[in-house]
Structure 1
Amino acid sequence: MSSFALEQILATPAGVLAEQSSESLFQIKNDANDLLATAKALVEHIDQALNLKYSDRAQQLRLASNKDTGIVHFDDGHVRITADLPKKVEWDQAMLSDITKRIAANGDDPSEYVEISYRISEAKFNAWPDSLKSVFVPARTLKTGKPGFRLTLLKETNHV
């Protein structure tokens, strides 16, 4: 897909695109997916280079500030670098369950210390007998995500 074709596609209203043949939409969609994959690979490659170039300096600045994670800023020539190493905390669910049980056993309210969330696997829910499902249905809300369409070419066609 040339940049001219890409600009044309972006300037074309979706309703007009929808009038194109399925083969044309297939080609446009595949070309766009190829561009997206290339762009993602390019961004990832550049991010690796930036990490190699700046991670040590950023880590030194974090250590000097007595922190393991977070944002630090520094200049490299005429470029301001903002290096972010986000904190990503994961909690052991089984251990938290045991702790909340001990809190409750001591007469305290675990919700004062811990946010408790309940989830049910949709596959498990669908396997339950109707008598059990009916108890949970009032607590269940079904929402849908963004619709997606995958186009597959059934046979090669010769375009003249």
Structure 2
Amino acid sequence: MTKMMTVFELLEASPAQLVELTPEHLLALQQASAERSAEAAKIANVLHATLAARFATGLNGAGTHNLDAGTVKVAVTIPKKVKWDQAKLAVAVDEVKSWGEDPANYVDTEIKVAERKYDAWPPSIRDVFTPARTLETGKPVIKLSAGNAD
């Protein structure tokens, strides 16, 4: 029986070595990787909460706040989150149009189509919009699980 490669050894293996691993071995590596990822996420969350409590408490306003902590320089960036009320924006765009102005000079407009809605459209409507639609594929999701291959 050959020794099982660990997730740490995985980083040193060549692609040729990796593709030769058995599905059972790949499953074990996938499970170990998921466990390490979960542990790393927990560690990152605890560390972030600690840093926020230590350095961001009491800071107000968006922007970067530079602090000195002995020999360590700390930059705390509080991002600005702007949200726009879409219904109110539509009213504002109509008002700008009524002045004879082109709203495109002031706002960007993006039309989105939910795929679920597109799939439910009657063919006559779909045919009008289909030339504007591009389908791209994403990264494949591969799930391994123990069990018989029937």
Report 1:7-156 matches (<5 A).
7-56=8-57, 59=59, 68-154=61-147
Could you list the runs of 5+ residues in structure 1 that have no partner in the other structure? 63-67, 156-160
- Alpha-carbon distance, 1:152 to partner: 1.7
TM-score normalised by structure 1 residue count:
0.84
Deviation at 1:151, TM superposition (A): 1.3
The AA in structure 2 aligned to 1:5 is T
SS in 2 for 1:54: helix
Deviation at 1:93, TM superposition (A): 1.0
Taking a change above 3 Å as real, the CA distance of residues 15 and 126 of structure 1, as seen in their structure-2 partners, is farther
Whole-Å Cα distance in 2 between the matches of residues 14 and 98 of structure 1? 57
| C-alpha separation in 1, matches of 2:78 and 2:91 | 31
- Matched length: 144
Q: In proportion to residue count, which structure has more helix?
A: 1
Any stretches of 5+ residues in structure 2 without a counterpart? none
| Shift, 1:9, TM fit | 0.7
Which deviates more, 93-102 or 119-128? 93-102
C-alpha distance in 2, partners of 1:94/1:119?
A: 15
Cα pair 2:64 2:76 within 8 Å, conserved: yes
